[in-house]
Each structure stands twice: as C-alpha cells, then as structure tokens.
Chains A and B, each alone.
Chain A
C-alpha cells in the first residue's frame, strides 16, 4: 500500500494590527482605524507586547533590505501584504559636507531614493497601507503637502486600492504630476495644508476611508521609526552623536527619538541616544519658535515659504518634537528660502544627492547649528534627507548657472576648457 504524504499547508500568519493606547490619558482601545481617544481626544499609539520575541543583530542583518527587517517594532502581527520593498535606503558618507559643517564625520540618510515614490513618506505609507489591509479597507487617502500625495497614490496603485488624495491648490508641478500619474482621485483644495488637513479630518469621519495621516495615523507614524533603526544598523550597530531632520508636522523627530530608544532597550545598540535637531524654513517655523521660546504650546502660523513640504503652520506633533529635541539635548534652527536653495546646492555638490526643498532646509539648518556651536568639531552627524530634488525643480530654476550652447566643433570645446576655472 502506497502512502501519499499530504502537503502541509503553508503557515502564513494573517496580518493583524496591534491595539491602541492614548498617549494623553492612557486609555486602551482595540485595534481600529481611529487615531483619536474617545475619552480625551488625545492621540492613539499602537501598543507592543513587551514579551514578544525580538531578533538579534545577525537575524536582522540576514533579512531582506527593506523596512520590514524591523517588523517586530512595527505595529502588526503576521506577515505584511503590501509595500514590501520600501525603506533601507543608503547611508551615504559625506566627508566634504563634514568639512563644510566643521564636524568630525557626516552622513546623509538618503531617502531621496526610498521606493516607490522617492521620499521618506514611503515608510509611513508602507505601514499605513498594511493597516488598511488589516482592517479590510479598500480606499485610502491623505491630506498632503506633496510627498505624501505621491506615496499614497503610488502605494495604492500597486495594491489595487482606491486613493483619495487632497492637496493645497498651490503645489509644485512635480508634486502634482507625480501624484496624478498613478491615477488617484486627486483633489486640489483652495487653502493651505492646514485647511486641507482639517477637511480630511472631516472626510475620514464621514466616509470611513483609511486616511493615512488622520484615522490611520497611529499606525502610519510608526513607519518613521525605521529611519532610526537603519541609521544604527548602517553605522555598525551604533549611534551618531547628532541627527538633523526636517520638521513639518513634527512626527519624524519624535519617532526618531522613539526608534533610538527602542534599539537601546532591545540591547542592539549601547551608548547615548543622539542629540536631535529639527529644521524648518523661517517662513513657517512654529516648532523652532517653540523650542527657542520655551513653553508647552504651539502658536500656529500662516506659512510663507518655498519649502512647501514643510509648510504646516499648525503642527500637532510639534510639542512632541520639541520634547524629543529638548530631552535628547538637541535644538532647532530655521533658515531663509535663500539659504535653503544654497543648502540644496551644497548637498548636490558635496554629496551628489539632489534633494527637494526640505533637504535644503536640513543642510542649511545644520550649517546654522554648526555656526552657533550646537554641532561640534568632534561630532558625528547624520542628516536626514527626505525627498528627491526632481519633485521641486522650481526651487533651483533660474538659480544655477546656465550651460553654454556651442556648435558641434572641437575648437569650441577647447575654447570652453581654456576659459574654465
């Protein structure tokens, strides 16, 4: 009698989202597409089981190069189903930039090449779209200053979900076209980002969609922590002294702080957490002004800057960002539009990385912090560069020297070489 072995079914654990807890009053609630505590309206964060098994450095290093290599610190159980290729961007050594800053060493965390949409927003959307899958939502959306619009549209397109994307009417052409190409339902709203954000809070409440930075926000935000994990791993399981990052809503700063703390707690890295420095454009710098002023409340501003990706006048995570900077021993700096354009050029010329306006803000702010003695000559500094320069070509249009036009003759090249400094 022959025996036929029955093939064992593949054990693929179904994706579920972790439960939530209010950051303000501590109230617990079951996993759901909500981000607001029904007791006190405070923000909800995912809760992790402190007894869950965690991988060691070798186990992490053996995994695929994406942000999911840190999945035990992301707000899910089971296997992610979408956006498996996002994250794990290069950490680029930047010796010329270090010399310009006057610090010992510098690196650029190069999220201009994050997949699929060339900004760090791919990280948060990778988390949010898996939350949408865990909750069975077939429509996602966002309020966006541009990068998030690109990311939501791209991730939704390849996951086969409907996307409703709301942006301010006045955005850079690259941000608008770089969204509409994926075929979302793109809506331009007359007003600032803060007006769009308020509208989306009402939209999420009314239509039951997964608005990634509204009712999926607790899950979405956790994706930002992976920047911290990657920096630590790519430096050889250690921390830099200082990290400089741009601030819009302020979430990235508080999530960097959380990410570094989690790797310390897990015993993956030893030593002091990096000092965290936040960068904004002076035409919209409510978080920088909170840091400089002291106090506990953001004073909202009407944004006036070409750094549109940072133009959030009412940043609800601003207070958390301020605490992350203060508690880590860091600070904040605001820079003019002129200086941010220089920042874009310095980064391109020193590191070979072409960043959008937020990257220019980050470089210019780092220079300002170095001039003010906040970054020191023995510091090892990482700059978080969060979006690609092709998205905001307007910022450098007319600023760079124009290329000469010549006939296809060798002597004309020779003449150029002769005159070239």
Chain B
C-alpha cells in the first residue's frame, strides 16, 4: 500500500529535504510508523513517545481531518494523499 505524504517545509529537512514522500501502511498510524523507521529524525516530530499524535500537528487524509476518522487508526489505501499541517488558527 503506497500513499503520498505531503510535509510542511519545517519537516522536509528531516526527510532528506523532500516535501513529498511515499509511505506504506493500512492505517495512518502504520504509515507514520513506516516514516519514523525510515527517517529517524522525522518520527518524533510526527508522534509522541507513546506513538500518539500531538495536539498541534494535524493530519489530513485526502483533505479530511483524521480526527473525524479515528485519528491514527484511520484506514488508508493505495493512492491516498496524507497532508501534515502544524495546527494554527484564528479568524
């Protein structure tokens, strides 16, 4: 299962400079674990030491906030696009 992950520029340096990388997994959590294995500096910036998402880093699968789809348990499939956004707000 190959999905595409879009990283913000502050994280790209921890993934060899790439803004877009491929990952594998059946769930978002598995895909993040895959990235953490391949890019050891990136892992701790995507999830905490217990493997849980940080409150200030938001993941979107195909433009949908994964917190509405079960968080790291959200299923992902071949061709899905995951976007990582540092949380910011203010209207």
Residues of chain A whose beta carbon lies under 8 Å from any beta carbon of chain B = 24, 34-43, 124, 143-148, 193-195, 197-198, 201-202, 205, 213-214, 217, 220-221, 248-251, 296-300, 302, 309-312, 314-319
Q: Tell me what chain A mostly uses at the interface: helix, strand, loop, or mixed.
A: loop
CB contact under 8 A between A248 and B90, given known A36-B10, A38-B10, A201-B8: yes
Other 10 A-B pairs with CB < 8 A, given A205-B9, A221-B90, A248-B91: A143-B91, A148-B90, A195-B63, A202-B83, A213-B88, A213-B89, A250-B89, A251-B89, A310-B91, A311-B91
Q: Tell me what chain B mostly uses at the interface: helix, strand, loop, or mixed.
A: mixed
Residues of chain B whose beta carbon lies under 8 Å from any beta carbon of chain A = 6, 8-11, 13, 45, 54-58, 60, 63, 65, 67-68, 83, 85-91
26 CB-based A-B contacts, threshold 8 Å: A36-B10, A36-B86, A41-B10, A43-B56, A43-B88, A124-B90, A145-B91, A197-B88, A197-B89, A198-B63, A198-B83, A201-B8, A202-B8, A213-B89, A248-B90, A248-B91, A249-B90, A249-B91, A251-B89, A299-B67, A300-B68, A302-B68, A311-B91, A312-B89, A316-B89, A319-B55
Residues of chain B with a CB closer than 8 A to A198's CB? 58, 60, 63, 83, 85
Residues of chain B with a CB closer than 8 A to A144's CB? 91
Give the Cβ gap from B13 to chain A, nearest Cβ, in Å. 7
Cross-chain contact B45 with A40 (CB below 8 angstroms) = yes
Give the Cβ gap from A395 to chain B, nearest Cβ, in Å. 17
Cross-chain contact B56 with A316 (CB below 8 angstroms) = yes
CB contact under 8 A between A193 and B9, given known A297-B55, A314-B65: no
Cross-chain contact A201 with B86 (CB below 8 angstroms) = yes
Cross-chain contact A41 with B56 (CB below 8 angstroms) = yes
Selected from B8, B45, B90, the residue in CB contact (under 8 A) with A205 is B8
| A311 to chain B: closest residue by CB | B91
Per the bound structure, the CA–CA distance linking A43 and B6 in Å amounts to 20
